[in-house]
A and B are shown apart, each in its own frame.
Chain A
Amino acid sequence: MSPDERDRRAATGTPSSVHLDGITKRFPGVIANDDVDLEVERGTIHALIGENGAGKTTLMNVLYGLYEPTAGTVRIDGEPQTFEDPGDAMDVGIGMIHQHFMLVDTMTVAENVVLGNEPTKWGGIVTDRARANRETQALADRYGLEVEPTELIEEISVGEQQRVEILKTLYRGADILILDEPTAVLTPQEVESLFDILRELIAEGKTIIFITHKLGEALEVADEISVLRTGELVGTVDAETATREELARMMVGRDVLLEVDKPAASRGDLVLDVEDATVEDDRGVVAADSVSLGVHEGEVVGIAGVDGNGQSELIEAITGLRKLTSGTITFDGRDITTDSRRSRVSAGMAYVAEDRQKRSLVMEYELRRNGLLGRQHLRPFSDGRLIDWGATADYVDDVIEAYDVRPTDPSAKAHSLSGGNQQKFIVGREFERDPSLVIASQPTRGVDIGSIEFIHNRLLELRADGKAVLVVSSKLDEVTQLSDRLAVMYDGDLIAVVDPETVTENELGLLMAGERPEDLDLDGARIRGTPA
């Protein structure tokens, strides 16, 4: 179908843009999608929600031509389609922004955006970089997606990479956009501007399918919401009338406690004391500048901030993965500023890293081998030389059972688990080692709603047990609900420590966007100034 014809159909208001009819997708031993019917009207935003493993991404991969359905048909604007590969899907105007970025690290933003559709000069021989940069910039400006076209992907933050992904699909002129968890890495303000973009796009007649865990977002931006559970469509509801509780129940299949029930803190001794810590990023630029922060026994301290404002580097410095330029770190009363990562782990520091596929798991290892990671030198896992596989297997079995990791087979490779299950495994591994300090960076990123509840409860149990907990999250509701004190980082500075009970989401958003606390109408009492 030509673009002209698509426009004509859009103009004449063909009612249904995407029509999935009885889609079934089987993998050896698993039914990922079971007879799913889905109808998305042109010019609407359709949210697809469900827990990890519910089959959302598989369904969209069928629509996007990555998978061939075992049964069922895909119709676009009423026409039955058979997609051999994503190229075919793109030909009829379907574009997908994946959860895992598909960007070339060593190329620039603009090169990635135009990849496969490069503007050329000199008779098509040479990529016209200037034009690629210009067009990328124009597209970015138009949709308010802030990127620098000439920067390398490997040098920009995860959040910026997400924006490049969106730009890439827009550049290809997609009519039907599928977004897989697009807001996971964005600030509330960025999320709002993304939603503005989405609204603008549907006004132009484009169609959006939006995969998310976040009920609030689905309710806010979508016209209709479809819920998948264990491969089946539970139902499609009108976003106008649906409630969070109703959706959560549809997703999980039972009632879910959405608010964290947090008992009063009983703060003990200072466990972690960071003083004037200055940390540089990989390029040697100061990422965290003279940050001071303390975490006590029985206390959860949260750090909020947009990705790339120095939280990652600060956490890596605390956990021993990055050197401090200046400042000191004291842990359980001992100066550990120059201690190795290994000795920090041995001293009882647990760490759930932000990028689980890079840091916290060896993707090629089975869960059993991953269960050892970080404590391979310590009893009971080894005597320092020989590994005790029996003790390791016991520990891994316990984690798998207690944290409901699926599949339950300890010889499953880490890469074969869904993101949520990977995260549950890591959280379990780190939490169950009786740490005195738990540092959790984005502890629930990519995790389904039932597991989020579980992880939050475990964090609060650790707090109740008198552990010190430091949580970094870009999800504002998460840090505000969990934390006893909430630090906000902007551009390498820890600009405020606020009381999460009283601060509003709007105020937090402004702080994260760089407003100084003194410029806000913040009540002095709500700023707990002294970091320790």
Chain B
Amino acid sequence: MQRRTFLTTVGVGATAGLAGCLVGDDDDDGNGVDDTGNGEDDDVDSDITVGIIYSTGGLGDESFNDMAFAGIEQAEEDFGISYQNAEPDEPADMNDMQRQFASDEDIDLVCCIGFDHETDLEENAAEYDDQRFALVDAVVEADNVANYTFREHEGSFQAGHLAGLLSTMDYAHGAGETDTDEARVGFVGGEEIALIERFEAGYIAGAQHADDGIETPSAYAGSWNDPSTGQEIATGMYDDGADVVFHAAGGTGGGVFEAAQSAGRFAIGVDDDQSISADEFSDVIVASMVKRVDTAVYESIEAVVNDEFEGGMNDLGLEDEGVGATIGQDFEGDLPEEVVDALEDSRQAIIDGEIDVPDNLDDL
């Protein structure tokens, strides 16, 4: 079961992914949300209403926000809840939206997606202490806020491990092949913030787990939405002999994929299975570091439906299937058996606490 989740595709994001999610109600293999919500809660017609406020990327980002939406749609399907969407144009809009939902008597849970909600929610959670909130990607310590954070470094470790293994071997599939001259894998970040450094640290640790002497260049584009800079950075990395580049850079990552196609190398996506959500690059996206925002949203709603809501921390790691490396759809079943086995071993080792994954660059 665990292994199957890792190896199969996770259908979220737009188009194909989303459809899969909606249809995959019954025991459709590999959909983590289904697995979680399966069985006991089916056909419950709850009168719960959820207000959900996205981050500034908004719906249609084929990533973070669409994942959250997928979670709420799944909850609608499973529990019959209803929901209202709010898409802020700027972080400045979040405060008003939180307050509007919080003060709405019909709303039973306010889901706040993204760390930009944190500061406003600190005040609003205190002011509206009879309202329940869920916060994704940040922490507000209050009894009425359920926080969902992710152990991105664990998933990134898996991504790094995979990248490191590929870099040290001859491998060709899809539109890419490795350059065996030297072991080198790259990382491209969006903005240089603690969250993304967590990705970077885990990724580098994972790569070094595969090969102690591996080169791990990394760079930040300074923006979540600058594909041309992403392409420039990644092309430079591939030119220097990098076999795989992992991005944690939102829309900037599109440029990384383009660079991978031009160079004939591999890339690793982020947040959702980008071999599906960005399927024009599926021939180079060997895997994606998925971050199950949908699971977080779904779980918070499930808790309210079951009247089990409580504030506090939910730190989702590999063990909880909150994060993980998902093999790209074109590569599924094609990776060498020893790579797949090695990844499974390191995954288990992290869950078992045998590998301590650093969550910042200083602990590398």
Direct contact between A and B judged by beta carbons closer than 8 A: no
Hey, which bits of chain A sit against chain B, CB under 8 A?
none
Hey, which bits of chain B sit against chain A, CB under 8 A?
none
